[in-house]
Amino acid sequence: MAMAQDWWRGSVTYQIYPRSFMDSNGDGIGDLKGITARLDHVASLGVDAIWLSPIFPSPMKDMGYDVSDYTGIDPCFGTMADFDAMVAKAHGLGLKVIIDQVLSHASDQHPFFVESRSSRDNPKADWFVWADPNPDGTPPNNWLSIFGGPAWSWDSRRKQYYLHNFLREQPDWNLHNPDVQDYLLGVMRFWLERGVDGFRLDTVNFYMHDRLLRDNPANPLPWAQSAHRPFEMQYNMFSRNQPENLAFLERLRALMDEFDARSTVGEVGDTHMSIELMGQYTSGRRLHMAYSFEMLGPDYTPGHFRSRIEEFFRKAPEGWPCWAFSNHDVPRHMTRWQEHGADQDDLARQAAALLLAFRGSICIYQGEELGQTDTALDFHELTDPEAINFWPEAKGRDGCRTPMVWEAHAPNGGFSMANATWLPVKPPQAARAVDTQDGSDSVLNFYRQMLALRRAEEALRAGDMVFLDLPDPILGFTRGDGLICLYNLSASKRDCALDETLAPLLSQNVTLGKGRIGFGPNGFVIARKQAA
């Protein structure tokens, strides 16, 4: 029973971006029936769970992260019956189902915001964050929106500003109000009773704001003044990361504990204290896991990976991380790290062998198992407000959100029979379709092998992780008492001394010699240590 309750510890979750996974009705947008039809592919990988990005009714100003009805299904994705059928199929395949919950903000079309903005004395007046203007009419403080401009928008009905850390169409809930907390926890109870196994909590460190509305100071980090988003030029110490959040997370965990074998993973992003927050949010009876941004950047070095993992377990020995290399908000890691690979497939296999050997839980994003890269898009093809607002300096998130490719020579890569899809499928992505990867040395088959190894070796899921002192660009660590993992994180040949006698379990481009190991480009080995 304890193992079933803790299924999430060391688990691997496959993120599905519903708009881009599979279109079943030919309208160019992925849907729930399409997901159900392709779940066999996901199960064949050997993952433990799926995570669905938002599927709720929404005006789609931010592709579903602006929710107007928390207990419905947007018609573009199907019906509640389609959702129930998808959950049943997933559970039949042994897959847990995790869904996104966007609790920090709603859509401005949510009925409660419509009511809240109607007057200063209606029953929902204090359900969102409202503030009077300064005497000169300016917003109450200097907080900035992630998508550009002030984090405050004027409402002429109330003659007040409302807070939105994201788009102006995404007003922030006032989670200092216990009634708001009760409502949002009730939403989660609805889905738990419907059979979901857990939640991915969007922007979990944005739930609470500073009650005094104090100005944020300037970001002192050296890169801040050259950031393309003004938001990053501030140290956002008052607009997020408030201590009151911890008590709400404890309430949330108490709800989860009413149900068997459920889990939460909170998205924690911060330029100054993300590791500390991950530890705080997963220690004690709060979140089960914290989803990290620490490996979603340009760094592909032994020092970076070692420092992130060691720092987490040093600062949060009771906490638990969820590591990822790609998701729907950042360029795919095969694009970010391409300079570190001599061969695209070799780099893709090495990245999988690295991520899936880390201590913690793991999330992989749809298309990673194909070695997929970002799609190069023209301005007229964009849908992402971040890309549109900051073009051309920033390319936004559409490049990693283009449709999954199933058949290389079918229209739209087999994703849809529509004449046009919501984002285009282009030849470089179609060339890596599922049906092209039947070969034993394909990236897809390697993911299956690596995931099978993680399931078979308890040390890879739960064993201690100890890093080895090796020369750059070699990264090495042990898992448990018996496994050693070694990687050449470069596109050139390397070698290093090796005192161990190894029995390889999975490897690429390595030569084992007496007292030394030779690495080809992106070479690696995961091996069992043997007695000399």
> Tens digits of per-residue pLDDT, 15-73?
999 999 999 999 999 999 999 999 999 999 999 999 999 999 999 999 999 999 999 99
At residue 269, the pLDDT reads 82
In the beta sheet, which residues pair with residue 501?
530
Secondary structure string (H, E, C) spanning 130-158: EECCCCCCCCCCCCECCCCCECEEEECCC
At residue 532, the pLDDT reads 61
Distances (CA, A) of 177 to 10, 70, 125, 202: 35, 18, 11, 19
Q: Using the CB atoms, write b or e for 204-242: b if 16+ within 10 Å.
A: bbbbbbbeebeebeebeeeeeeebebebbbbbbbbbbbb
Position 205 pLDDT exceeds 60: yes
- Report the run of H or E that residue 396 belongs to, with start and end: none
DSSP 56-67: S----TTTTSS-
Task: For CATH 3.90.400.10, list the domain ranges present in the chain.
Answer: 107-174+209-243
Question: H-type helices in 144-273, by residue range?
Answer: 178-193, 245-256
For residues 172-181, give the mean pLDDT. 98
Q: Are 383 and 421 in contact (CB under 8 A)?
A: no
Q: Which two tokens stand for residue 71?
A: 């207990």
20 vs 42: CA distance, rounded Å: 15
User: Binning pLDDT at 50, 70 and 90, where does residue 2 land?
Assistant: very low
CATH no. of 107-174+209-243: 3.90.400.10
User: Of 310, 335, 313, which Cα lies nearest the Cα of 400?
Assistant: 335
In the beta sheet, which residues pair with residue 476?
486
Give the pairing type, strands 49-52 and 12-16: parallel
To the nearest 10 degrees (0 to 180), the angle between helices 344-355 and 443-456 is 20
What is residue 401's three-state secondary structure?
coil
What backbone torsions phi and psi does residue 84 show, to the nearest 5 degrees?
-60, -40
Sheet holding 130-131, edge to edge: 130-131, 160-163, 152-155
At residue 1, the pLDDT reads 37
For residues 370-387, give the mean pLDDT. 94
Q: Could you report how far apart the first and last alpha carbons of the chain are, in Å? A: 39
The amino acid at residue 282 is T
pLDDT 10s digits, 217-248 = 999 999 888 888 899 999 999 999 999 999 99
For residues 312-325, give the mean pLDDT. 94
Catalytic amino acids? 202, 258
What is residue 479's three-state secondary structure?
strand
342 vs 176: CA distance, rounded Å: 52
pLDDT 10s digits, 469-508 = 999 999 999 999 999 999 999 999 999 998 888 999 999 9
Q: Which two tokens stand for residue 54?
A: 């938002």
Task: For CATH 2.60.40.1180, list the domain ranges present in the chain.
Answer: 463-530
- Report the run of H or E that residue 519 belongs to, with start and end: strand 516-530
Q: Are 1 and 350 in contact (CB under 8 A)?
A: no
Q: What is the pTM of this model?
A: 0.96
At residue 273, the pLDDT reads 81
User: Of 405, 328, 384, which Cα lies nearest the Cα of 100?
Assistant: 328
Q: Which residue has the tokens 């009511």?
A: 115
The amino acid at residue 15 is Q
Average pLDDT value over all residues in the chain: 96
Regarding the domain delimited by 463-530, which CATH topology (the fold level of the hierarchy) does it fall under? Answer: Immunoglobulin-like (2.60.40)
pLDDT 10s digits, 41-57 = 999 999 999 999 999 99
For residues 96-115, give the mean pLDDT. 98
